[in-house]
Amino acid sequence: MATVVLGAQWGDEGKGKIVDVLSEGTQLCCRAQGGHNAGHTIVKNGKTFDVHILPSGVLTEGCVNLIGTGCVIYVPGFFKELEMIEAHGINLQDRVLLSDRCHVDLDLHTKVDGLEEVELGKGSIGTTGKGIGPTYSTKATRSGVHIADIFNKEYFDDKVRNLERGYKKRYGDLLQYDLEDELKRFDDYRERLKPFVVDQVPLIESAVKGNVRMLVEGANALMLDIDNGTYPYVTSSNTGLGGIFTGLHLHPRKIKETIGVVKAYTTRVGGGPFPSEQLNDIGERLQVVGKEFGVTTGRKRRCGWLDLVVVKFSNAINWYDAINLTKLDILDDFDEVKVATEYTHNGQKLASFPADLHVLETMEVKYETLPGWKSKTVGLRQYDELPENARKYIEYIEKFVGVPVKYIGTGPGRESMITRTNLIIILVMMQASKKIPFEDPMVLNAVRALYVVSNLIIAGVYFYTKMQIDKKRDMTVLKYVEPAAMGSTEEPKAVTTTVHAYDLSQLRGLFKSQLMGVGMTPIMPTYFNYTNPLLIQSIIPLKGAFEGNLVKVHLLGQSASGDLKRPWKAAAGMMGMMQGQGAGEIKTDKKSIEAAERSGRGGAKEE
């Protein structure tokens, strides 16, 4: 079964990073369309890799990488990327494959690409100038060159000569192209290419039948799709889910999950409509902080607020199972963030993203303003560590688009990624429980036993953690301001305590949450007819217990998540959320403490 990763905007969303992360354990990583006009930046082990045509799985040991039939290949660039990767000590022997049905992007196509842009004048598309459009054009007019054609020298040379002759008739002396030089270079490439070239059809068929774990990496993005994008300001291939089926010969029923990659704001390279573009200091700030320069061309990217109309339109075509939200950290210092939520034209609300360029140029964009979080999210690994307003931003996106945000990027490195595993487990358990025969007493009792064992393990972990806290008896003094309860009119409370007392109070809260969960469980199965709660409540709390800061520090000897100094500003997994700590933010600065003490609430020492 295959996992498919697709860009949901105008490209440059950060697809390479999620593909790199997901490629661990993947046996076959594939590209289905596009060429070296696509650029992916991957940071691995402190090294930055810019790849254009090779699948991102080349950086994962043991992963085989296939460039599929729907792609177009610039052969010099292909070899250049291979050499760049191998120069870093990464072995690519027998790990890169190239479909013999791919079309060849010649230097001739690149020359023609530039001439076509000049010919269009003010109406130029703003292409990458890599020859992609002309290559797909010759493919469509049945005059192009297959990879398979390269190995028949006479046939290949004749086809290239015919192409050059046709373009000469159109452009005359404007076409400055050395035909013989290109043919000579392919004489050198011919033998070098042979070990990489395969027949893709039996390869994919065998992979599907053998239940090989496949990862498919889309190039460009939905809004650049030749059929569904902002035509004519698009690329020349199908960049959506449809392009995966045709470019890889993959059956729709063999796709396990489709992930849409969405940047936390919006960018675009080149010309064309961009409804939420900010031609002001906001756009410049996003460009500078986000380092928005094209991997392929080096051009500055146009920047604007997140356009949820675009993302929803993209989802209506690609039907995402989950979203990967990238570069959330770029918005950390904004006082407020906006999202585009509606288009209107001549006073009428538009139902979707319009195809008419005139409408796109004259319509009005409605924005929703959300509060910023003014707090660093760089490098965070747990969802509960995110500032409250950052979580609200993510949840607003989920509600508007109707797709869960499963992965959240918090920095350039592959380790700077939040995976909402609790959400994944719940969804899996809900699906699995539908197939479990709970009407069978033996099955039902087995699930009940699992629930009991899970809670006994949690209780044992907490009791042992208490023993460790008492053994250390850390009497370091803590002073902080505890927020008032949600909905309360009281002022925040100044607290003076010790690390020992603080840790014990946190542990009491965890015990209380566990008991509340146990108390609710007899009611929940009655309502749900034993379909979900027992399974979910056997796994999520156990996972949360081991993810909590107290257990990490006192039992596992690991670093706590979030702020390492007590009081912890990150909730301890799901348990922390149940305690309602998200109602306000704990403050430790001197000014806030003095203000709370003057208000008359606090100052009482807890130990």
Report the alpha-carbon angle 89-93-96, nearest 5: 105
Three-class SS state of 424: helix
Three-class SS state of 313: helix
- 345 marked as part of a ligand binding site: no
* 262 touches 82 (CB < 8 A): no
* 144 touches 178 (CB < 8 A): no
* Count of residues making up the chain: 607
- 188 marked as part of a ligand binding site: no
Residue 197 backbone phi and psi in degrees, to 5: -85, 130
- Marked catalytic residue, from 12, 100, 225, 503: 12
What DSSP element (H or E) covers 349?
Answer: strand 348-349
- 411 marked as part of a ligand binding site: yes
- 12 marked as part of a ligand binding site: yes
- How does DSSP classify residue 329? G
DSSP annotation string for 191-260: HHHGGGEE-HHHHHHHHHHTT--EEEE--S-GGG-TTTSSTTSS-SS--SHHHHHHHH---GGGEEEEEE
- 329 marked as part of a ligand binding site: yes
- 15 marked as part of a ligand binding site: yes
- 220 marked as part of a ligand binding site: yes
Three-class SS state of 108: helix
Distance CA 111, CA 168 (A): 11
What lies within 8 Å, CB to CB, of 211 at 6+ separation is 1
- 257 marked as part of a ligand binding site: no
- Marked catalytic residue, from 20, 36, 40, 384: 40
What DSSP element (H or E) covers 497?
Answer: strand 493-498
Q: Which residue(s) pair with 99 in the sheet?
A: 198
Distance CA 380, CA 498 (A): 27
- 402 marked as part of a ligand binding site: no
Active site annotation includes 12: yes
**Cα→Cα distances 114→5, 109, 145, 271, 578, Å:** 31, 9, 20, 15, 60
- 466 marked as part of a ligand binding site: no
For the chain, the first-to-last Cα distance in angstroms comes to 57
Q: For 404-472, where are the alpha helices, taking DSSP H only? A: 421-433, 441-472
- 13 marked as part of a ligand binding site: yes
- 142 marked as part of a ligand binding site: yes
- 39 marked as part of a ligand binding site: yes
**Cα→Cα distances 560→322, 515, 569, 593, Å:** 28, 24, 11, 24
- 300 marked as part of a ligand binding site: yes
- 40 marked as part of a ligand binding site: yes
- 235 marked as part of a ligand binding site: yes
- 531 marked as part of a ligand binding site: no
Distance CA 109, CA 138 (A): 9
Distance CA 306, CA 326 (A): 11
Encoding tokens for residue 281? 């200091």
Active site annotation includes 187: no
- 295 marked as part of a ligand binding site: yes
Please return the burial class of 46, using the count of CB atoms within 10 Å of its CB with bins 0-12, 13-18 and 19+.
exposed
Tokens 């309860």 label which residue?
485
What lies within 8 Å, CB to CB, of 347 at 6+ separation is none
* 534 touches 445 (CB < 8 A): no
3-class secondary structure for 116-177?
A: HHHHHHHHCCCCCCCCHHHHHHHHHCCCCCECHHHHCHHHHHHHHHHHHHHHHHHHHHHCCC
- 414 marked as part of a ligand binding site: no
- 299 marked as part of a ligand binding site: yes
- 37 marked as part of a ligand binding site: yes
Active site annotation includes 139: yes
- Marked catalytic residue, from 52, 130, 139, 263: 139
- 173 marked as part of a ligand binding site: no
- 17 marked as part of a ligand binding site: yes
Distance CA 605, CA 607 (A): 6
Write out the binding residues for Mg(2+): 12, 39
Write out the binding residues: 11-17, 37-41, 128, 142, 220, 235, 295-301, 327-329, 409-411
Write out the binding residues for GTP: 11-17, 39-41, 301, 327-329, 409-411
Positions marked active-site: 12, 40, 139
Write out the binding residues for IMP: 12-15, 37-40, 128, 142, 220, 235, 299
Write out the binding residues for substrate: 295-301
